[in-house]
Chains A and B, each alone.
Chain A
Amino acid sequence: MNNLLDLLISTLTQGLVYALLSYGVYITYKILDFPDLTVDGSFPLGAAVTAVMMTSGFNAWLTLPASLLAGALAGLITGIIHVRFKVRDLLAGIITMTALFSINLQIAGSNLIVDRNTATIFTSPVVEKILGSTSLITRKLVVSLIIVLLAKVVLDLYFKTKSGLLLRAVGDNSVLVTSLAKDKGTVKIIGLVISNALVALSGSIVCHEQRAFSSTMGTGQVVFGLATVIIGATLFQKFDIIKGTTAALIGSIAYKAVMQLAISLGLPANLLKLITAVLFLAILIFGNYQKKNAGRIIQKGSSHA
């Protein structure tokens, strides 16, 4: 019974931590209409920066802004490659992702373990003081929840600012942004920067959670992000009031729950990616089917780079 509760809590925590990545993918894929593959590189980048800082004795909390910054830089590079050098969106992401693989190896090697005695954000003195005697697993849940909700509130507020409105406009109809005498390229770059900062933050917290960095931990994260955003959007298609970030958050939790269930039912870990692919395809087909039934009223304005 206790085991089951622990499993539920840890699954929920997983969903929360990865929701930050989903927010990022929500910005690029849903808002900017930009399938950004940088994610597979910026996610482990956040973890690499975090692992190195922790093993070098930096305060655990400092790794969060550092990862945000590193991710932002990765997004900036993809943005510049795409906007200034006019490389197609997918290719621009692939270039940065590929480069980041080497950069991550340079930063943290192929594997880096943070030893038991180093305080993570979950075992830092502040958290100890506030949450005191609760189990580590509960603390992980609470801290992740706070960070993820905080990020959500900040993002939702940002989307309501003038800058946020312009960001939403550029994916919707970039011609209008040009008519407003604004450089649509710059707006796209801003979106990519915010997105990858969030993705790296997600990687950082995963590193705190696992006390480890591995150079391959980025593989498949884009697909995960896309899947969660699309699950979220599909689940809440009929509810216009549900925010995109909320949908991404719930999508992420749902996804991790399904995966956990599959593992609990005895699915070999080797097959996980295959299941991911099948699940993703199923979601897409289901989404298309729903769309057809609903009869798309809102048509996307033309949006080219």
Chain B
Amino acid sequence: MLELRNITKIYNPGTITEMCLFDSFDLVVGDGEFLSIVGSNGSGKTSLLNIICGSIPIEQGEVLIGGDNIAKMQDYKRYNKIGRVYQNPAMGTCPHLTILENMSLADNKGKTFGLTSGINKSRRKFYQEQLAILGLGLENKLDIKVGLLSGGQRQALALIMSTLTPIEFLILDEHTAALDPNTAEIIMQLTDKVVKEKKLTAMMVTHNLRYAAEYGNRLIMMNSGEIVLDRAGQDKLETSIDELLQLFNKISIECGN
């Protein structure tokens, strides 16, 4: 279980640009929940994920995983349990390394990076199978530098890499935003499949209200650092895209956006 308790996040504290984004923010995400997060630009979705992953400091509050407070734990240690795909396709892969090298790195997560061979030839087949699921032909390009791939291809690779080893949490930040509609659909279905198969707890930020409504078993909408809608189970199933859109517009108008 993932729990955020009484979180305060202030950007640029003590300066004229000081901005309090979260004030006594609480959120509980149960094991196996697939939580979709929607909300207008600047509502704090990425910041929320950054707080969970330890990418940004918080002023106050607790981040609990399985009851342990990890608010002071360094970011990289948290990733033992977390896989993450970023909004920016460049963040999830190494451009100057080949697909094979990138996959090998991802495959070794959680183990030591010692003086044994970086690439395990016998895993080639396995990587190819994993990449073939994407249907992008990446399985035939193992020796190509990742920087030569398109943004969408890189993003797809990043998703495969982030879930290659056992993790508990999958954190996705608009991970389909850079993809064409077809690839986006494939990636969404793959995401859903991986989350179910590996029984992950997932948090997915998206601007695609249809994905938010269709996928996952819980949905929250955020607005300036607050949760303004939280639906799970049957309620979530009955939430239509139209209803989401109406609510989204209503909030936007109220806030003068």
Do residues B76 and A165 form an inter-chain contact, with CB atoms below 8 A?
Answer: no
On whether the beta carbons of A179 and B97 are closer than 8 Å, the reply is no
Determine if A173 and B94 form an interchain contact, defined as CB atoms under 8 angstroms apart: yes
> How many Å lie between the Cα of A160 and that of B100 in the bound state?
12
Q: Which residue of A lies closest to B84 (CB)?
A: A179
- CB within 8 Å of A: which B39-97 residues: 74-80, 83-84, 86, 90-97
The listed residue (B84, B105, B106, B116) touching A161 by CB distance below 8 A is B116
Given A160-B119, A297-B148, A298-B148, A181-B110 contact (CB < 8 Å): yes
At the interface, yes or no: A129 with Cβ under 8 Å from chain B? no
Query: Shortest beta-carbon distance, A298 to chain B, in Å?
Result: 3
Contact call B147/A183, Cβ cutoff below 8 A: no
B104 within 8 A of A: yes
Q: Find out whether the CB atom of B90 lies under 8 angstroms from the CB atom of A301.
A: yes
Query: Which residues of A have CB within 8 Å of B109?
Result: 179-181
Q: Mark A158-181, 1 if CB is under 8 A from B, else 0.
A: 101111111011001101111111
Give the residues in chain A near B147, CB-CB below 8 Å: 297-299
Of B90, B97, B110, B114, which contacts A302 at CB under 8 A? B90
Q: B76 touching A168 by the CB < 8 A rule?
A: no
Give the total number of A-B pairs whose CB atoms are below 8 A apart. Answer: 99
CA distance A183 to B78 in the complex (A): 11
A178, B97: Cβ atoms under 8 Å? no
A302 to B91, Cβ gap below 8 A? yes
A: number of interface residues (CB 8 Å):
28
Chain B residues with CB under 8 A of A180: 79, 105-106, 108-109
When distances are taken between beta carbons in the complex, the residues of chain A under 8 Å from B104 are: 165
Q: How many positions in chain B have a CB within 8 Å of any CB in the partner chain?
A: 37
- A residues less than 8 Å from B233 (CB atoms): none
Report yes or no: A161 in contact with B118, Cβ–Cβ below 8 A.
Answer: yes
B113 engages A165 (CB within 8 Å) = yes
B82 to chain A, nearest CB (A): 8
* Given the contacts A176-B93, A179-B83, A180-B106, A160 and B118 also touching, CB distance less than 8 Å: yes
A163, A172, A182, A183: the one contacting B95 at CB < 8 Å is A172
Q: Is B117 an interface residue (CB 8 A)?
A: yes
Q: How far is the CA of A302 from the CA of B93 in the complex (A)?
A: 11
**Are B118 and A182 within 8 A (Cβ)?**
no
CA distance A300 to B96 in the complex (A): 8
Q: Are A165 and B97 in contact (CB-based, < 8 A)?
A: yes
Interface of chain A residues 26 through 51 with chain B (CB within 8 A): none
Shortest A85–chain B CB gap in Å is: 16
State A132–B118 Cα separation when bound (angstroms): 42
Q: Chain A residues with Cβ under 8 A from B33's Cβ?
A: none
Asked whether any CB of chain A lies closer than 8 Å to the CB of B16, the reply is no
Nearest CB of A to B144, in Å: 10
Complex Cα distance, B166 from A181, in Å, reads 12
Considering only CB atoms, which chain B residue lies closest to A296 in the complex? B147
**A158 proximity list for chain B (CB < 8 A):** 115
- B176: Cβ under 8 A from any A Cβ: no
A168 touching B115, Cβ below 8 Å: no
| CB proximity to A under 8 Å, residues B109-132 | 109-110, 112-119
The reply on B174 being an interface residue by CB < 8 A is no
**Contact indicator B91/A173 (Cβ below 8 Å):** yes
Contacts of A298 in B (CB 8 A): 95-96, 145, 147-148
Nearest A residue to B145, CB-CB:
A298
Query: Which chain A residue has the least Cβ–Cβ distance from B83?
Result: A179
Determine if A162 and B91 form an interchain contact, defined as CB atoms under 8 angstroms apart: no
> Which of B79, B95, B96 meets A179, CB within 8 Å?
B79
Closest to A185 in B: B76
B78 CB contacts on chain A under 8 angstroms: 181
Taking the complex as formed, is B162 at the interface, i.e. its CB lies under 8 A from any CB of chain A? yes
Query: Given A160, A162, A173, A175, which contacts B113 in the complex, CB threshold below 8 Å?
Result: A162
Among B77, B94, B106, B119, point to the contact of A168 (Cβ < 8 A).
Answer: B94
Q: Is B94 a contact partner of A301 (Cβ separation < 8 A)?
A: yes
Find B91's partner among A165, A183, A300, A301 (CB 8 Å cutoff): A301
- Nearest Cβ on chain A to B53's Cβ, whole angstroms: 9
Q: Is the CB of A161 within 8 A of B114?
A: yes
B178 to chain A, nearest CB (A): 14
Q: Which residues of B contact A165 (CB under 8 A)?
A: 97, 101, 104-105, 113, 118-119
Residues of B within 8 Å of A168, CB to CB, are: 94, 96-97, 101
Give A302 to B94 CA distance when docked, in angstroms: 10
Assess whether A152 is interfacial by the CB under 8 Å rule. Answer: no
How far, in angstroms, from A176 to B106 measured CA to CA in the complex? 9
Whole-angstrom distance between the alpha carbons of A160 and B115 in the complex? 9
User: Nearest-CB distance from B90 to chain A (Å)?
Assistant: 5
**What are 18 pairs between A and B in contact, CB < 8 Å?**
A160-B117, A161-B115, A163-B114, A165-B113, A166-B113, A168-B97, A175-B92, A176-B94, A179-B84, A181-B79, A183-B76, A297-B147, A298-B96, A299-B95, A299-B147, A301-B90, A301-B93, A301-B95
Give the B-binding residues of A (Cβ under 8 A): 158, 160-166, 168-169, 172-173, 175-184, 297-302
What would 13 more interface pairs be, CB under 8 Å, given A158-B115, A169-B105, A172-B96? A161-B115, A161-B117, A162-B118, A165-B105, A165-B119, A173-B91, A177-B76, A179-B92, A298-B147, A299-B147, A301-B90, A301-B93, A302-B91
